[in-house]
Structure 1
Amino acid sequence: MRIEELTVTGFGKWQGAAFRFAPGLNLFYAPNEAGKSTLLQAIFAALYGMKRDYVKTARYLPEYEKYRPWHQGEYETIITYQLGGKTYRLHRTLLKEREQTRLFLDPEWTELTDIYLEDRRKERNFLEKHLGLTRSLFTDLTWIRREPLEAAEHLLPSFADVQEASPLVHTILAELDRDLTSIGKKERAENTQMGKAASRVARKEQELADAEAAWRMITQLAQSIRGWEEERQGLEQRRARLQARMQKWQEQEQLLQERWQRSFTAVDRQEWDWWEQSAGSEEERQLHHQARKEVEKWGEPRTAAAPEAMPDQALNELAADYERGVALRKQREQRHLRLAELAVLALSTGPRSQSQGRGRTQRQGNQAKRRKGALRLWGVAGVFASLGAVGLATEHPVLGGSAIGLALLLAALGVVVLRAKGGANSSSPAAAIDSQQALEGEQLQQEIAALDAELAELVGRYGVSDWDTFLAKREELQRSVQEQRTVALENDLAKTRREELLAESWGEALRAILKREKRQCEEAGSDCLAQLAHIEAELQELREKTARAHGEMNAHESESVASARDEYEQAVQALRQLQQRRDALQLARDTLLEAQGEWKRDVTPDVNRIASEVMSQITAGAYCDVRLDPGEGFAVRLLEPSRKQIVSQEQCSTGTADQLYLAQRLALLHHVSKRTEPLPLFLDDHFVHYDDERLRRTLAYVAELAAEQQVFLFTCHERERRMLESLLSGGARHKVHRIG
């Protein structure tokens, strides 16, 4: 087998990297942490994936999480290898739950994926089919490590050419003997699996007989249950009818209770229909009908409500006219006040205008004329004060207040006129003011006349001539309406009292009837309850009988014929399987003994010879006799030449132990390669404990191996490159790969 090329899409620190390998020695030289070990793991993952060989608890190897892509890329590899004269190209995606593997045949790239079936790990392991080696066996043989073999128990059958599908069949002899002993050879033994299985068959046979007897009893009980079920259905039908009657009486009693409560409330015209329609007897219906006739007879005089509507309407119109008259009188008084103001202004400016007409020589009035003008103003103020007092006395506050306010204004103007010193005013402005005041006075007189006419028309509608008479008639009409309302209220009170007396007598008679009906309902309900109790007792007795019968049936349900027969057949089948397993284990034991004998006869001498040759060459003849013990995981022992003592690998120095690991792997690899073709060899910093002389001899032997098979040597030291420099520069068969 030869690996030609590896493309790493994403694996650990490697992303988008491609490596092409030489057919001979491939030296990977780089410092620590440069990715050499990651590259080696990428090769194994590309060939075999990252799942365990034998699924136990975890499906994936511990290295799966360690080598996830650092850069969040695809967890994917592509590897090209030659095997059996053919070139294969293997694409592998390693993401969990999205694993995908595809195999192509170069150079046509014909896809061969579907030719290989998936195993129980959902994996198409092509290399295992091609080489007959699992991942554990492949790494044990090709990866030279300073540690014991991981799958030694599965290595021995592969040497013996045993072709069974599962390597678990080929366990060590001790395990086979222990399993055979636990199974036993005789069926009458008590402590063996075979004896227990035979006892279980006998027990299940007896249980089958018991189940058949129980089935006959269950059939009889089922017939009894059917009869009880028919009886129960009849009783339940009677109970349903009684419950319906009970529900009816309860509803009737609830209705009586509702009518009892409503008998204490007043009844209007609409409710009399409800009382008559919901009456429970003819006696009650006659009671409601008679009471209704009495109420309707007393309600007829209620038609007197129509005449009462007219006084209320007239009173509303009178109130509106009153408000309108008050507003008109207020407007009239406001205009009279304005006329008074104009009169005062005329009185205060009259003498001054006349003196201006006589000539500019009399511009200043004397003190006597001013006093005379002031006395006039005060006289007019006294008249308005008298009018204000009369208005307040006759309950006309608006008129009285306006007159008193005008009187105060005129008195103040008189004081102003008396104290004025006079002045020269131009004739033309005074004349203009007088003309304007005259026009305003005429307009005010017209408005006052219009207001007087509207007020006269308003009071005329009520047949009076003045405002005071209108007020007196208004008071008389209000008093009349109040008297009519008092009389109507007294009539309503009398009618209400009569209705209350009628309702009281009607309610007492109704409650007496309802009490009798309620007593009848209670008696009927008690009778229904007694019958229901009797039926319930009978049903309870039937339920108890049925429950006991079902209990007996359930007690024997586990002894059903079908399940007992199935268990019996399963027990017989288990006994047969145990016998087959015993025979298979015996065959496996015999085969393993035969394989071990073949190993000791044919394989052991050859493997020991190769291991001794390797050890002799890399130690310069210091150690020439090496043995591998297949019974102890191919442990290595050697003969110490000076003392002639046999020493184990653990008793040697670190460098010698590493050499023994190398001899062990090379010997096993050489023997396995005979069956297929030379497999690659992987050394990852294996020579760290070698001195220069020991390393030189070992590298010389590795160079001889590289002439026939592919070798991958990973190192972080310069000395391996220097010692192999002549070999690496000799042609295209060998190659140096610098990383980092």
Structure 2
Amino acid sequence: MIFKRFHVDGFGVWCNKTFTLEPGLNIFFAANEGGKTTLMNFVRAMLYGFRSSRSRHGPRYEPLRGGKHGGYLEIQHDGKTFRITRTEDGSSPGDLQITDESGKELPKPEDRLTGCLNGTSRELYEDVFAFGLLELQGFLGNDEILKAGMATSGIEPRGFQKKLEKEGDKYFRKNQRGKSRKVHDLLADIEELQTEIKHLEERPKDYSQLLEERESLKEALVDLDDELEERRDKVKTAEMHKNAWPSYKDLLNAESALEAFNVSTGEAKTAEKIHAQLIEELAEKERELQDPENNLQSDGASPRDPGTGKKVKLIGSVALAFVGLALVGLALWKQSWPAGMAGMVAAIVAYFLYRQVETLKEKEDNQNKAEQNKLQSVKDQLKELKEKYEKAWLIFNAKANEQEDVNDLRASLENIGTKNESERLLVDAQTAVETTGKDDSALNKAIGRIEANMAQLEGDVDLDTLLLKREQKRTDLKNAIEMWVELKVTAKLFGLAMEAYEKNDQDSIVERASKYFSIMTQEAYSQVLVPRGEQDKKKIQVEATASGNRKEPNELSQATKEQLHLAMRLANASHYAERCVDLPLITDDILVNFDEDRAKAAAKLLATYAADGHQVLLFTCHQRMVDVFTAQAPQTKPIRLSPSVV
């Protein structure tokens, strides 16, 4: 890959500036704060996106002097030219577009850019291909040395084997928080499902048992409801007995008074017969009365006729006697002595009236008008007596109908015996109702619980669903175990590949690093040594040419250590170019700590590396470094950046 040009629309201090590049060595010179480091980060941003505003790896380089954040980078790859354009769109990496030489926008720009970089990650690119003095001073460990050789397969060795082991541990081991891993969780799920399946297999038996219990309780509830209704009736009866007790006491007192008149039930029946006879006689007398009246009106008969006056007076007396006897009969039926006394008084009055009529029969009244008046008076009396009789008879019948209920109540009260006994029976009946009511409520609650359990059984997940879940869990368990085996095998194979790499590719990288390091140190050191295998934790070592002594990086001077790190990066970059993709090398003032001789030697090495077909972009703020490089590559024309340009 070759960078042909790049245009900055707005990035940090840069605004609307285009730079054209050569395929070999390119030198950028600028004073402090001249924007050289900003340009190096612009190239990084075009390839991998803008940094997040919260990134710990550097600023986002928002435009300070206008322009839209971003720009484009024009590259040549596999003989074709592409323009990579990235601009701000509110997202962290920005909006990416890739066009071909004709200006046609290509689909799936992210995938196409990844293809151009051959899968090179941002971390690998910034460690090996685009670094400044700060990165150069950092320790380049064994993993960094392995990157170039492993990158051809798209795999970075840093942490890869540990990642495989960590993924494998997820299936069996527990983490520090005690969280279970996949295989253990799946086994627990299968065991739980098995328990539920067993429970559901027994569910029909449990359901039938609950059904039988419910039906039994419902039958008991029906019986209890009947018993409750019966006991409520007893409460009503007891309350009636309690309320009737005072009336019953009055009845007993009345009976005692009635016994003094020596009235019996037989006499009452006799009174009833007399009542019937009186009715008949009354009807007969009315007929007899009707004939004389008619004769009187038609023939003008004299009212002084002794027969006529006698009949009238007799009828009045007999009617009054009838009423008296009716009251006696009614009193006997009601067993009420005051009514009986009234009847007797009426009978006595009738007797005296009768005697008066007899006396009047002996007297003669010759006045016709007086006789007619008396006749009308008797008729009025007869009408009034009939009305009183009919009213008394209705009362008599009503009382007779109530007598049966009174007799039943009387029998109940006689069985009770005392008022205290009636109150006790009422309390007992109320207590029985309360107890039965509680039993009824308890049965209803029991039935409710049983029906709730039945509903729960009916609503449970069906057996087929659980069986399907169990089979799915078993399949997941099988897949988890297979994945664990794959991870373990992959980790093992990766370890073998690492060993093979250390024997072959790593040796090639270390050999190149030894050559580069010897050139830059002017053969003060002859060899770079890198330990193999994870079990060897020793750092990189270098061997002095003269003494053969070996030193670790921390035993070297700062400049010599930087020279070692530069040699390792150049070795990785050249190896990566042969095995994967040739990417431009970008450096920012990496030789400032070198002495003059070693700076010249390093400049010659980089110029030779560029002459071998690799593109190199050098950024420096030191004129001395420009002179050193141009002395080694006279054809190179430095690109001078000044505040006026910025």
TM bin, normalised by shorter chain, reads 0.5 to 0.7
User: 1:282-309 deviations in whole A, cap 9, x for unaligned?
Assistant: xxxxxxxxxxxxxxxxxxxxxxxxxxxx
Question: Which amino acid is the alignment partner of residue 704 of structure 1?
Answer: T
Q: Give the corresponding residue for 1:113.
A: 107
2:16–2:67: 8 Å Cα contact kept in structure 1?
A: no
Counterpart check, 1:605 vs 2:510:
no
Question: Which amino acid is the alignment partner of residue 585 of structure 1?
Answer: L
Counterpart check, 1:87 vs 2:87:
no
Cα 1:142–1:158 change in 2 (3 A) is: closer
Equivalences, count: 419
Look up the SS of the partner of 2:63 in the other structure: coil
1:173–1:589: 8 Å Cα contact kept in structure 2?
A: yes
Gaps of 5+ in 2: 174-178, 220-432
Q: Give the corresponding residue for 2:121.
A: 134
Question: Which amino acid is the alignment partner of residue 140 of structure 1?
Answer: D
Could you tell me how far 1:159 is from its partner in structure 2?
A: 2.0
Look up the SS of the partner of 1:88 in the other structure: strand
Question: Which amino acid is the alignment partner of residue 63 of structure 2?
Answer: P
| Structure 1 segment 254-653 matched on structure 2, within 5 A | 542=444, 545-547=447-449, 549-550=451-452, 561=463, 564-565=466-467, 567-629=469-531, 631=533, 636-653=540-557
2:145–2:568: 8 Å Cα contact kept in structure 1?
A: no
TM-score (norm 1): 0.49
Q: Give the corresponding residue for 1:369.
A: none
Which of the numbers 692, 695, 699 marks the counterpart of 2:599?
Answer: 695
Question: Which amino acid is the alignment partner of residue 489 of structure 2?
Answer: L
Q: Give the corresponding residue for 1:295.
A: none
User: 1:77-121 deviations in whole A, cap 9, x for unaligned?
Assistant: 211011111111111124433832111121x2232223x5xxxxx
Look up the SS of the partner of 2:3 in the other structure: strand
Could you tell me how far 1:216 is from its partner in structure 2?
A: 2.9
CA distance in 1, matches of 2:142, 2:462: 52
Look up the SS of the partner of 1:571 in the other structure: helix
User: 1:317-343 deviations in whole A, cap 9, x for unaligned?
Assistant: xxxxxxxxxxxxxxxxxxxxxxxxxxx
Counterpart check, 1:737 vs 2:640:
yes
Could you tell me how far 1:136 is from its partner in structure 2?
A: 1.2
Which of the numbers 100, 116, 119 marks the counterpart of 2:95?
Answer: 100
CA distance in 2, matches of 1:566, 1:179: 28
Q: Give the corresponding residue for 1:265.
A: none
Which of the numbers 122, 125, 136 marks the counterpart of 1:146?
Answer: 136
| Structure 1 segment 149-160 matched on structure 2, within 5 A | 156=146, 159-160=149-150
Could you tell me how far 1:657 is from its partner in structure 2?
A: 0.6
Could you tell me how far 1:719 is from its partner in structure 2?
A: 0.5
TM-score (norm 2): 0.55
1:24–1:706: 8 Å Cα contact kept in structure 2?
A: yes
Alpha-carbon RMSD: 4.4
2:124–2:147: 8 Å Cα contact kept in structure 1?
A: no
Could you tell me how far 1:691 is from its partner in structure 2?
A: 1.5
Could you tell me how far 1:637 is from its partner in structure 2?
A: 1.9
Cα 1:724–1:563 change in 2 (3 A) is: same
Could you tell me how far 1:39 is from its partner in structure 2?
A: 1.0
Q: Equivalent pairs: percent with the same residue? A: 21
CA distance in 2, matches of 1:219, 1:726: 99
Gaps of 5+ in 1: 52-57, 117-122, 186-190, 232-530
Q: Give the corresponding residue for 1:675.
A: 579
Q: Give the corresponding residue for 1:717.
A: 622
2:146–2:506: 8 Å Cα contact kept in structure 1?
A: no
| Structure 1 segment 227-246 matched on structure 2, within 5 A | none
Cα 1:62–1:735 change in 2 (3 A) is: same
CA distance in 1, matches of 2:202, 2:474: 22
Cα 1:539–1:180 change in 2 (3 A) is: same
Cα 1:709–1:206 change in 2 (3 A) is: same
Could you tell me how far 1:619 is from its partner in structure 2?
A: 1.0
Q: Give the corresponding residue for 1:4.
A: 4
Look up the SS of the partner of 1:146 in the other structure: helix
CA distance in 2, matches of 1:664, 1:675: 16
Cα 1:192–1:720 change in 2 (3 A) is: same
Look up the SS of the partner of 2:498 in the other structure: helix
Which of the numbers 65, 74, 80 marks the counterpart of 2:68?
Answer: 74
Which of the numbers 160, 184, 191 marks the counterpart of 1:196?
Answer: 184
Look up the SS of the partner of 1:34 in the other structure: coil
CA distance in 1, matches of 2:59, 2:437: 75
2:524–2:546: 8 Å Cα contact kept in structure 1?
A: no
1:28–1:739: 8 Å Cα contact kept in structure 2?
A: no
Look up the SS of the partner of 2:100 in the other structure: strand
2:27–2:618: 8 Å Cα contact kept in structure 1?
A: yes
Could you tell me how far 1:591 is from its partner in structure 2?
A: 2.7
Counterpart check, 1:213 vs 2:117:
no
CA distance in 2, matches of 1:723, 1:162: 35
2:171–2:181: 8 Å Cα contact kept in structure 1?
A: yes
Look up the SS of the partner of 1:103 in the other structure: strand
1:29–1:716: 8 Å Cα contact kept in structure 2?
A: yes
CA distance in 1, matches of 2:457, 2:551: 71
Question: Which amino acid is the alignment partner of residue 568 of structure 2?
Answer: Q
Q: Give the corresponding residue for 1:466.
A: none
1:211–1:559: 8 Å Cα contact kept in structure 2?
A: no
Question: Which amino acid is the alignment partner of residue 133 of structure 1?
Answer: T
1:24–1:710: 8 Å Cα contact kept in structure 2?
A: yes
